[in-house]
């Protein structure tokens, strides 16, 4: 009987509201630094958001950045940084064997809003509509911009799985490696959501847009006074390889992907369903050959909405209620909700725990909601653990999509 090839993470490239590489991101997570600020947005009063500060000019010409999209610039920056972090040179790669798989929540809204706003100033004369609009707004754009920038000719596409998209794209990259369709997978998630007023307006209409007089305290999953989502931009791309390839080139291995699962709630447009979230968690553990006692760190999806956080906590209690050796945290409390990039960034922020044994905290939990009470939740300050060998990364999204990843510390025999 043959088994699927083992797949490992050998490079990480990211940009987030609190850092433009993994070291900076991790340092601010451990220091309790929030990346939420107040920004101006078209047609609305100032809103709270997580904003990235990377320089698109690092890897793009001004012309290419103007032609493309913010999401494309984020994706290019993260992909290039991931390759550099993984010590992979493009000249050494068979470019037709490199695949690009990026998770997104949506794409094209920013560009369409901008074009409509632009032609409004010209009496809605469509001759002023940009000829770049179609390639900017097609759903595969961010991944396609990466292939153009890198000159790689393997398969590329985006994975539309709402806010579970980052995990879903990593799963896709892993599976393509196991099928030997590619030799290197650039997989993760990106989001430019803060540049569209429609995202903010929709969450506000839903009663799910966070407000707070202090921006740094606005994103507060599990807190009794939480009042919604802080929308953020960001991106994170991983280099994935088959283990034998990584060993052959003596690559540094961050972690091995050992468990994964995706399923659907079939329940509600926006409200998650605990039984299906629990089933997704259990399926990922089953595929990893693990029990709840084998999981040492759980990275939660919780977004700061009143009902969503409670539903996830029900699922977590059903799985981990009696397990004292698991630690639970949340990254959105620092950076807000980076939508399609959320799951990938949250995984990245917890990867160093496999080495240093330190769990970054959940911040802004001033009064824990009793309905979100999890005894293992790390609040306020980092916690040193006796053992962190495994990380479970949980994500969920609108229309009831769930995706769970389990990664494990790799020790070469």
**What are the pLDDT digits (tens) for 89-137?**
998 999 999 999 999 998 999 999 999 999 999 999 999 999 999 999 9
How many domains, the chain?
2
Query: 404: pLDDT confidence band, cut at 50, 70 and 90?
Result: very high
Q: What is the reported pLDDT for 411?
A: 82
Helix axes 342-350, 22-31, angle to 10 degrees: 80
Question: Within a domain: residue 413?
Answer: no
Question: Within a domain: residue 2?
Answer: no
Q: Using CA atoms, how far apart are residues 214 and 62, in angstroms rounded to an integer? A: 35
Mean of pLDDT over the chain: 97
Q: Find the mean pLDDT for residues 250-259.
A: 98
- Residue 40 sits in the same domain as residue 127: yes
168: nearest Cα among 398, 395, 399: 395
- Residue 116 sits in the same domain as residue 204: yes
The contacts of residue 413 (CB under 8 Å, 6+ apart) are none
- In this prediction, what percent of the chain has a pLDDT beyond 70? 99
Residue 162: is its pLDDT beyond 60? yes
Q: Find the mean pLDDT for residues 79-96.
A: 96
Question: Within a domain: residue 253?
Answer: no
Q: Find the mean pLDDT for residues 170-193.
A: 98
Question: Within a domain: residue 289?
Answer: yes
242: domain CATH number is 3.40.47.10
Q: What is the reported pLDDT for 412?
A: 73
Question: Within a domain: residue 352?
Answer: yes
Query: 211: pLDDT confidence band, cut at 50, 70 and 90?
Result: very high
- Residue 244 sits in the same domain as residue 329: no
Question: Within a domain: residue 171?
Answer: yes
- Residue 197 sits in the same domain as residue 281: no
Please identify every residue annotated as catalytic: 163, 301, 337
Residue 311: is its pLDDT beyond 90? yes
- Residue 348 sits in the same domain as residue 233: no
What pTM, to 2 d.p., does this model score? 0.97
Domain of 310, in residue numbers: 259-408
Question: Within a domain: residue 1?
Answer: no
Q: What is the reported pLDDT for 32?
A: 98
Q: Using CA atoms, how far apart are residues 257 and 407, in angstroms rounded to an integer? A: 4
- Residue 271 sits in the same domain as residue 163: no
- Residue 237 sits in the same domain as residue 362: no
Q: Find the mean pLDDT for residues 360-380.
A: 97
Helix axes 70-85, 141-150, angle to 10 degrees: 50
Last residue of some domain: 181, 215, 248? 248
Last residue of some domain: 248, 271, 291? 248
Q: What is the reported pLDDT for 304?
A: 98
Last residue of some domain: 216, 248, 280? 248
- Neighbour tally for 277: CB within 10 Å: 25
């Amino acid at each position: 009987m043959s088994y699927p090839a083992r797949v490992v993470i050998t490079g990480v490239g990211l940009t987030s509201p609190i850092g433009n590489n993994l070291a900076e991101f991790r340092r601010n997570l451990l220091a309790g630094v929030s990346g939420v600020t107040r920004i101006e947005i078209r047609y609305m009063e100032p809103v709270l958001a997580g904003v990235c500060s990377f320089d698109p000019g690092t890897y793009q010409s001004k012309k290419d950045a103007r032609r493309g999209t913010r999401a494309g610039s984020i994706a290019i920056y993260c992909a290039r940084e991931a390759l550099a972090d993984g010590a992979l040179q493009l000249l050494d790669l068979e470019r037709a064997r490199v695949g690009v798989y990026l998770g997104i929540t949506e794409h094209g809204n920013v560009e369409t809003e901008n074009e409509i706003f632009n032609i409004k100033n010209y009496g809605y004369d469509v001759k002023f509509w940009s000829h770049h609009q179609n390639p900017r707004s097609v759903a595969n754009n961010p991944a396609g911009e990466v292939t153009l920038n890198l000159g790689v000719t393997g398969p590329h596409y985006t994975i539309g799985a709402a806010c579970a998209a980052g995990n879903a794209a990593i799963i896709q990259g892993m599976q393509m490696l196991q099928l030997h369709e590619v030799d290197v997978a650039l997989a993760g998630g990106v989001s430019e959501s803060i540049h569209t007023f429609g995202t903010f307006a929709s969450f506000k209409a839903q009663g799910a847009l966070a407000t707070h007089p202090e921006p740094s305290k606005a994103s507060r999953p599990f807190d009794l006074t939480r009042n919604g989502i802080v929308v953020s931009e960001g991106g994170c791309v991983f280099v994935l390889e088959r283990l034998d390839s990584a060993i052959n080139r003596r690559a540094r291995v961050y972690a091995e992907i050992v468990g994964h699962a995706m399923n659907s709630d079939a329940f509600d447009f926006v409200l998650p369903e605990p039984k299906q979230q629990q089933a997704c968690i259990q399926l990922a553990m089953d595929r990893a050959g693990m029990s709840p006692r084998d999981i040492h760190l759980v990275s939660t999806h919780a977004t700061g909405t009143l009902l969503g956080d409670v539903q996830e906590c029900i699922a977590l209690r059903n799985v981990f209620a009696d397990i004292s050796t698991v630690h639970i945290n949340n990254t959105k409390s620092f950076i807000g909700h980076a939508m399609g990039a959320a799951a990938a960034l949250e995984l990245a922020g917890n990867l160093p725990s496999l080495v240093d044994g330190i769990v970054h905290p959940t911040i802004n939990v001033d009064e824990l909601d009793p309905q979100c009470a999890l005894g293992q939740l790390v609040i306020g300050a980092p916690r040193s653990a006796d053992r962190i060998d495994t990380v479970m990364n949980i994500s969920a999204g609108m229309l009831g999509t769930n995706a769970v990843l389990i990664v494990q510390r790799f020790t070469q025999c």
